[in-house]
């Protein structure tokens, strides 16, 4: 948006003169037919020398989870509320539409730069994240956004513009809730590959091609095995063994994260129950990775509760490891699910701490039992600065009653650093590589004991 237009926003309704057949019956904003016509008109005006515009594709994070846990009527109320807010904060000359169950678009006129879009997106994000009261409950939502600025008389059709904004939105979703990403040409290629892989992944879940791996965790003081982190792998019939990095973006793009997460939870709890039946679990905890997006969009607490009942094992045996994210909002539905998990008796940890925008509120606001320090924080040859940082994390964790796990430990120098800093647990290739789960629980290897025996 040009600076001269900044004061106009919020004064009108972002629903231009759509005909009844061009309106979404639930929210009152434009439907796909109406938005396509509006884009066609904007492109024609641009070719005739008119102003450029921005197209923003918004995906409502967590709507599927709201439908599952609170009912579709509540979900519809949320959508109506979002539609009203979008119309309130846009001008009559802008356009707001709803294309799918949880996907909205905004067409902003007279937008000339990415910085204009960022400024407008912040206004939208702030408005949509304010609590919405539906069914006697206050809900806080975030959106993932993909955007492009159209300022040249390009030879594109409306559907192509929507496809480009959609591809950028999927990239934003893969980075976590609440983000904004601008379209780049390579995203379409990624999108095409992801759609193919998502189709294959659906088949993999159905035909049992997924595997559960585990990597042991070692107690630094005793050298004993203290647990294991569960990991997912895909035995692809043509591509071989794939790690999550090879297919999680595709899972997200194909709306398979909920199904994939449910598979991991069920198999991990089943394996934990089997290990518990064959021996003591007094000192052994099994970690399951959960992303903030999963907590926002699926009923993770319900899945864990059902798996515990189905496989008859103690919740205290599990640690739900929440992947570190700057976007985690402790007033959100995701945070409520964490509290439900704690009420179940499941332990909670913060995973990949230090990997990016680490937020001390994560340690302040949740009763975490475990802080897993990301491998990026400690190099293969640790220096005094890294030791000081790790020591500080250990001190903070100890003050709140949490233990620390140093991830990515590959050599003795890193292990010795953990010892000096008082870190209780380590995990990495030095003490045990990931391996497919079997009837025997994974055991850590203490390199100090092995070298001493030699």
pLDDT of residue 65: 64
Mark 250-262 as b/e (b = at least 16 C-beta within 10 Å).
bbbbbebbbebbb
CATH code, domain carrying 227 = 3.20.20.450
The total domain count for the chain is 2
Check residue 10 and give its pLDDT: 46
Looking at the structure, do residues 168 and 240 belong to the same domain, yes or no? no
- Answer yes or no: do 141 and 238 share one domain: no
3-state secondary structure labels for all residues of the chain: CCHHHHHHCCCCCCCCCCCHHHECCCCCCECHHHHHHHHHHHHHHHHCCCCCEEEEEEEEECHHHHHHHHCHHHHHHHHHHHHHHHHHCCCCCCEEEEEECCEEEEEEECCCCHHHHHHHHHHHHHHHHCCEEECCEEECCEEEEEEEEECCCCCCCHHHHHHHHHHHHHHHHHCCCCCEEECCCHHHHHHHHHHHHHHHHHHHHHCCCEEEEEEEEEECCCCCEEEEEEEEEEEECCCEEECHHHCHHHHHHCCCHHHHHHHHHHHHHHHHHHHHHHCCCCCCEEEEEECHHHHHHCCHHHHHHHHHHHHCCCHHHEEEEEECCCCCCCCCHHHHHHHHHHHHCCEEEEEEECCCCCCCHHHHHCCCCEEEECHHHCCCCCCHHHHHHHHHHHHHHHHCCCEEEECCCCCHHHHHHHHHHCCCEECCCCCCCCEECCCCCCCCCCHHHHHHHC
**Residue 4: predicted pLDDT:** 33
CA 67, 72, 74, 77 dihedral sign is positive
Q: Does 133 lie in the same domain as 107?
A: yes
Residue 176 belongs to domain spanning: 3-184
291 and 214 together in one domain? yes
Could you give the CA distance from residue 413 to residue 109 in angstroms, rounded to a whole number?
58
Kindly list the averaged pLDDT for each block of 10 residues, start to end, along the chain of length 454. 38 62 90 92 89 91 68 83 90 88 88 88 86 76 89 81 88 77 80 62 88 96 95 87 78 79 95 89 88 81 96 94 64 77 94 68 80 86 91 94 94 95 96 92 88 48
For residues 35, 37, 38, 43, the Cα torsion angle rounded to the nearest 10 degrees is: 120
Considering the domain boundaries, does residue 189 fall inside one? no
β-pairing verdict for 318-323 and 347-353: parallel
Tokens 């159905």 sit at which residue?
Answer: 206
Domain boundary among the residues 184, 214, 230 is at 184
Round the CA-based radius of gyration of the chain to a whole number and report it.
25
> Is residue 24 situated within a structural domain?
yes
Q: Does 180 share its domain with 222? A: no
Is there a single domain that holds both residue 392 and residue 309?
yes
Domain edge (last residue) among 135, 161, 184? 184
The answer on 129 and 260 residing in a single domain is no
103 and 174 assigned to the same domain: yes
- pLDDT, position 325: 59
Burial profile 150-184: b = 16 or more Cβ within 10 angstroms, e = fewer: beeeeeeebeebbbbbbbbbbbbbbbbbbbbbbbe
The answer to whether 312 and 77 are in contact (CB under 8 A) is: no
**Do 82 and 208 belong together in one domain?**
no
């Amino acid at each position: 948006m040009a600076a001269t237009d900044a004061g106009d926003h919020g004064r009108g309704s972002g629903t231009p003169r759509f005909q009844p057949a061009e309106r979404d019956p639930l929210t009152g904003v434009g439907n796909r037919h109406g938005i396509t016509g509006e884009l066609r008109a904007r492109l024609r005006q641009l070719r005739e020398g008119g102003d450029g515009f921005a197209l923003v594709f918004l995906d409502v994070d967590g709507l599927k989870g709201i439908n599952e846990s609170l009912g579709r009527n509540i979900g519809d109320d949320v959508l109506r509320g979002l539609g009203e807010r979008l119309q309130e904060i846009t001008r009559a000359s802008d356009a707001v539409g709803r294309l799918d169950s949880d996907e909205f678009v905004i067409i902003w006129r007279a937008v000339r730069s990415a910085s204009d879009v960022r400024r407008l997106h912040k206004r939208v994000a702030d408005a949509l994240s304010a609590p919405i009261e539906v069914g006697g409950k206050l809900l806080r939502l975030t959106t993932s956004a993909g955007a492009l600025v159209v300022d040249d008389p390009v030879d594109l059709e409306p559907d192509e513009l929507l496809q480009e904004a959609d591809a950028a939105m999927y990239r934003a979703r893969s980075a976590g809730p609440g983000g904004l990403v601008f379209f780049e040409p390579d995203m379409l290629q990624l999108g095409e590959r992801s759609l193919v892989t998502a189709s294959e992944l659906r088949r993999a879940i159905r035909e049992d091609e997924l595997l559960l791996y585990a990597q042991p965790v070692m107690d630094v003081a005793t050298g004993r095995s203290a647990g294991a982190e569960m990991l997912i792998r895909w035995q692809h019939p043509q591509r071989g063994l794939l790690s999550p990095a090879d297919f999680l973006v595709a899972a997200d793009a194909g709306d398979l994260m909920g199904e994939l997460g449910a598979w991991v939870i069920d198999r991990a709890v089943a394996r934990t129950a089997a290990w518990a039946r064959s021996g003591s679990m007094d000192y052994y905890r099994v970690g399951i990775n959960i992303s903030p997006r999963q907590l926002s969009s699926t009923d993770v607490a319900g899945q864990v509760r059902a798996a515990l009942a189905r496989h008859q094992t103690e919740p205290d045996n599990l640690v739900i490891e929440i992947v570190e994210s700057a976007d985690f909002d402790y007033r959100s539905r995701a945070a409520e699910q964490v509290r439900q998990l704690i009420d179940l008796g499941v332990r909670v940890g913060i995973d990949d701490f230090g990997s990016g925008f680490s937020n001390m509120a994560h340690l302040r606001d949740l009763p975490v039992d475990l802080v897993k320090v990301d491998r990026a924080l400690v190099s293969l040859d640790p220096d005094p600065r890294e030791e000081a940082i790790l020591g500080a994390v250990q001190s903070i964790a100890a003050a709140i009653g949490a233990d620390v796990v140093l991830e990515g430990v590959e050599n003795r120098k890193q292990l010795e650093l953990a010892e000096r800093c008082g870190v209780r647990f380590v995990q990495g290739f030095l003490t045990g590589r990931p391996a497919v789960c079997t009837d025997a629980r994974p055991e850590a290897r203490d390199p100090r004991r092995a070298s001493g025996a030699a």
